[in-house]
Amino acid sequence: MSVSQRLGTVVVLFLVAVGLILWAFASFLSPGTPGGVVNFMAGHTAGQPVNMTIETVGSTGHGPHPTWVSYLTKEPTTGKWVHETTWQLPAKTVINVTILQYDSGSPLRNQEWGQVQGTIGGTATINGNTYSDYNSYTGGGVGHTFAVPALGLSVPLIGITSSNVCGATPCSKFPHNTITFSFKTPAAGSYNWQCFVPCGLGYLYGNGGPMSTQGYMGGFLEVR
């Protein structure tokens, strides 16, 4: 093998190595495509609350639908953001939820969705301030709701007043509202949760696309 051939081989191997490193780094940062379950039961002590952090974004920036609005979940053991909306939770347990709301909002079509319902104490907090209902014709409006119909749980997620500039998830150093609330899981079972604010842009009345696709604006509580 000549010197030029050896040099060419070294360059190719170097480029392959760099490509693998970049791929691994991108895979770690990217939330990926929904389809799995986030387990919040691993290592959980009975009687203790579960802390769950999720975020709402104007567009995922990844996967087969990069422009779709979506929820993401912070994996409890690794701290990595994943594009999964089905959660395994222990029964009869307090769940402390933190939602980082990066999306803008608008007035609600049904003002009932501006009320906090089914949480412990009947309230939620936004950036540290307690609220039990929100006038969606003020401020940033309501971007989404987190609702579990079978539990009578519904929390309006107040929209940010600035433009969504995140671009690709997970979002971090961008304008957002931090919303917190707590609820208690029921007996074992599978419970659907969803957003009731039509936000599937480009679809009839905003109800298609991400609004009707598992892993985007809805998911399941798999209570065990």
Asked whether the beta carbons of 116 and 122 are under 8 A apart, the reply is yes
Average pLDDT over residues 45-59: 95
pLDDT in tens, 181-222: 999 999 999 999 999 999 887 787 778 899 989 899 999 999
In a domain, 207, yes or no: yes
User: Residue 41 — pLDDT band, cuts 50, 70, 90?
Assistant: very high
In a domain, 195, yes or no: yes
Q: In the predicted model, is pLDDT for residue 117 greater than 60?
A: yes
Q: In the predicted model, is pLDDT for residue 79 greater than 90?
A: yes
Q: In the predicted model, is pLDDT for residue 89 greater than 80?
A: yes
In a domain, 62, yes or no: yes
In a domain, 26, yes or no: no
pLDDT in tens, 4-14: 545 544 443 44
User: Apex CA 133: angle with CA 92 and CA 109, to 5°?
Assistant: 105
Q: In the predicted model, is pLDDT for residue 56 greater than 60?
A: yes
Asked whether the beta carbons of 154 and 147 are under 8 A apart, the reply is yes
Strand partners, 71: 56
What is the residue range of 114's domain? 31-223
Sign, CA torsion 219/114/102/66: positive
In a domain, 70, yes or no: yes
105, 117, 211, 93 alpha-carbon torsion, rounded to 10°: 120
In a domain, 11, yes or no: no
In a domain, 96, yes or no: yes
User: Apex CA 189: angle with CA 187 and CA 195, to 5°?
Assistant: 105
Per-residue pLDDT, 121: 98
Q: How many domains does the chain have?
A: 1
CA distance linking residue 186 with residue 164, whole number of Å: 35
Per-residue pLDDT, 190: 98
Coil, strand or helix at 10 = helix
**CATH (domain of 48):** 2.60.40.420
pTM for this one? 0.82
Distances (CA, A) of 211 to 16, 52, 71: 40, 22, 11
In a domain, 24, yes or no: no
User: Apex CA 150: angle with CA 145 and CA 153, to 5°?
Assistant: 40
